[in-house]
Amino acid sequence: MTETISYKEQINTDNLPEHIAIIMDGNGRWAKAQGKHRIFGHKNGVKAVREATEGCAEIGVRFLTLYAFSTENWNRPKTEVSALMELLFLTIGREIKTLQKNNIKLNVIGNIQSLPESNRKAIKEVMEATKNNTRMTLTLALSYGAREELIEATKAIATAYKEEKISIEDIDHQRISNSLYTKNMPDPALMIRTSGEHRISNFLLWQMAYTELYFTEKLWPEFSRNDLFKAICEYQQRERRFGKTSEQINEQFITNNLPKE
């Protein structure tokens, strides 16, 4: 029998990724492997959502962003889209108590206007109810596409320029970051994608410029809290250089950790 390693104890809580983004992939394949309908996979995916959310909150991750429905997902069969929307609606309503109990704030990014009215209402209610929670922010990317987000940001900046509120020189990294749906969040330090696919799929394109990417063969419904901790352990083994050399990073580390006078 193979023994499962427990990764939680190996995590260095002084070096946690402040923001983790996840592409939850493989629900359909997981269901198919058991001879079930794709929707069965999505329903079981909700359990993994809970695992990841609780796991992040438990160790002190401040932001978790889940790619729950992309702009491209509207092209799926109508029955699957409706079932996903209903599942989202039910889950958001059902989880409000857990979010409150765990002091988690719910946030949603994406083209919210394109969602059914019932979903918009449920999202608004839960966001309002959890707005003062401070332990962690759980963001659901719904009807989200990074290119659409960048188009919206570009339009907002162009309008501000046209109305002479800003000059060309004011268009910098900060201006663009502040024009995105994610304006109040740090960029993800770690992005996890399940199911063995090695793609970013129109997710947080601007924000992931320096994100560490982690891919696992596990299908989303079987992704456990321990799998999340394993990904965090691997992240902690990596050296984030942001274009600098290893020597510069080590020097910076020493300087930052010198005893204060």
Q: What is the dihedral of CA 127, 232, 88, 108, to 10 degrees?
A: 30
The answer to whether 88 and 126 have CB atoms below 8 angstroms apart is no
- Single out the residue of 8, 29, 37, 120 in contact with ligand FPP (rule: CB under 6 A): 29
Verify binding: residue 145, ligand FPP, rule CB under 6 A. no
Cα(104)–Cα(162) distance, integer angstroms? 39
Which span sits near ligand FPP by CB under 6 A: 4-12, 25-33, 116-124, 166-174?
25-33
Q: Which residues of 195-207 are buried (b: 16+ CB within 10 A; e: fewer)?
A: beeeebebbbebb
Which residue of the set 12, 15, 25, 257 is catalytic? 25
Cβ-based nearer residue to ligand FPP, 19 or 38:
38
Cβ-based nearer residue to ligand FPP, 203 or 220:
220
Active site residue 73: yes
CA distances from 132 to 21, 89, 99, 135 (A): 22, 22, 11, 10
Site residues (CB under 6 A) for ligand FPP, limited to 40-59: 42, 45-46, 49
Q: What is the dihedral of CA 127, 19, 17, 217, to 10 degrees?
A: 100
Active site residue 184: no
The answer to whether 70 and 201 have CB atoms below 8 angstroms apart is yes
Identify which of 63, 136, 126 has the alpha carbon closest to the alpha carbon of residue 89. 126
Cβ-based nearer residue to ligand FPP, 87 or 233:
87
Which span sits near ligand FPP by CB under 6 A: 66-74, 103-111, 174-182, 234-242?
66-74
Site string for ligand FPP, 187-206 (x = CB under 6 A): --------x-----------
Cα(27)–Cα(44) distance, integer angstroms? 8
- Single out the residue of 17, 19, 22, 28 in contact with ligand FPP (rule: CB under 6 A): 28
Site string for ligand FPP, 70-109 (x = CB under 6 A): ---x-------------xx--x------------------
61: tokens are: 């991750």
Contacting residues toward ligand FPP, per CB under 6 A = 24-29, 38, 42, 45-46, 49, 66, 68, 73, 87-88, 91, 140, 195, 220
